[in-house]
Chains A and B, each alone.
Chain A
Amino acid sequence: MSLRAVEEASEKEVSNAYLSQIETGKILQPSPNILNTLSEIYKIDYFQLMELAGYVSPTNARDANERHGRVATFAEHNLTPEEESELLHFLQFLRSKKPK
Chain B
Amino acid sequence: MRKPDDSSLTASELKTVEKHAKLALDKASGWGTFPTPVDDVLAAARLRVAPRSAFDMRRLYEYAKQASADAIQKVKGALSKVLGLYDATDSIIHIDDQVGESKQKFLKLHETGHHELPAHRKIFTFFEDCEKTLAPEIADQFEREANNFARYVLFQGSTFKDMAADEVMGVKSPIKLAKKFGASNYAAFREFVRTHHRPCVVYALEPVEYVAGTGVTATVRRVETSPSFKAQFGSPDDTVISGDHPLVQLLPIGRKMTRPTNLVYRDKNGEQHECLGEAFNTIHNVFLLIYPVKSLTSSGLIASINFSVTK
- A residues near B (Cβ < 8 Å) are 13, 31-33, 35-36, 40, 46-47, 50, 54-63, 66-95, 97-98
A sample of 21 inter-chain contacts (CB < 8 A) reads: A33-B17, A33-B119, A35-B119, A36-B118, A46-B122, A56-B133, A56-B134, A56-B135, A67-B139, A67-B143, A68-B136, A69-B134, A69-B139, A70-B132, A72-B142, A73-B84, A74-B82, A76-B81, A89-B67, A90-B71, A94-B54
Asked if B196 CB lies within 8 Å of chain A CBs, one says no
- Chain B residues contacting A79 (CB-CB under 8 Å) are 77-78, 81-82
- Chain B residues contacting A70 (CB-CB under 8 Å) are 124, 127, 132-134
Number of interface residues of B (CB under 8 A): 59
- B residues near A (Cβ < 8 Å) are 10, 12-13, 15-17, 50, 54, 59-60, 62-63, 66-67, 71, 74-75, 77-79, 81-90, 107, 110-111, 114, 117-120, 122-124, 126-128, 131-143, 145-146
Q: How far is the CA of A69 from the CA of B120 in the complex (A)?
A: 11
Known: A46-B119, A62-B133. A88 touches B77 (CB 8 A): no
Which listed residue, A71, A89, A95, touches B71 by the CB 8 Å rule?
A: A89
Q: Are B85 and A62 within 8 A (Cβ)?
A: no
Q: How far is the CA of A35 from the CA of B117 in the complex (A)?
A: 12
CB distance from A59 to the nearest CB of B (A): 5
Known: A73-B85, A94-B59. A57 touches B74 (CB 8 A): no
Which listed residue, B13, B83, B135, touches A75 by the CB 8 Å rule?
A: B83
Which B residue sits closest to A79, measured CB to CB?
Answer: B78
Q: How far is the CA of A81 from the CA of B141 in the complex (A)?
A: 19
Q: Are B135 and A55 within 8 A (Cβ)?
A: yes
Q: How far is the CA of A47 from the CA of B97 in the complex (A)?
A: 33
Number of A-B contacts (CB under 8 A): 171
- Chain B residues contacting A68 (CB-CB under 8 Å) are 133, 136, 139
Q: How far is the CA of A50 from the CA of B134 in the complex (A)?
A: 9
Which listed residue, B83, B90, B117, B146, touches A95 by the CB 8 Å rule?
A: B90
- Chain A residues contacting B141 (CB-CB under 8 Å) are 31-32
Q: Are B107 and A74 within 8 A (Cβ)?
A: yes
Q: Are A75 and B82 within 8 A (Cβ)?
A: yes
Q: How far is the CA of A92 from the CA of B83 in the complex (A)?
A: 19
Which B residue sits closest to A91, measured CB to CB?
Answer: B87
- Chain A residues contacting B63 (CB-CB under 8 Å) are 90, 93-94
Q: Are B16 and A13 within 8 A (Cβ)?
A: yes
- Chain A residues contacting B145 (CB-CB under 8 Å) are 33
Q: How far is the CA of A94 from the CA of B139 in the complex (A)?
A: 24
Q: How far is the CA of A92 from the CA of B52 in the complex (A)?
A: 14
- Chain A residues contacting B78 (CB-CB under 8 Å) are 79, 83-84, 86-87, 90
- Chain A residues contacting B83 (CB-CB under 8 Å) are 73-76
Which listed residue, B50, B117, B119, B131, touches A58 by the CB 8 Å rule?
A: B131
Of the listed residues B15, B66, B139, B141, the one surrounded by the most CB atoms of chain A closer than 10 A to its CB is: B139
Known: A71-B127, A86-B75. A77 touches B81 (CB 8 A): yes
Q: How far is the CA of A81 from the CA of B82 in the complex (A)?
A: 14
Which listed residue, B67, B71, B118, B122, touches A47 by the CB 8 Å rule?
A: B122
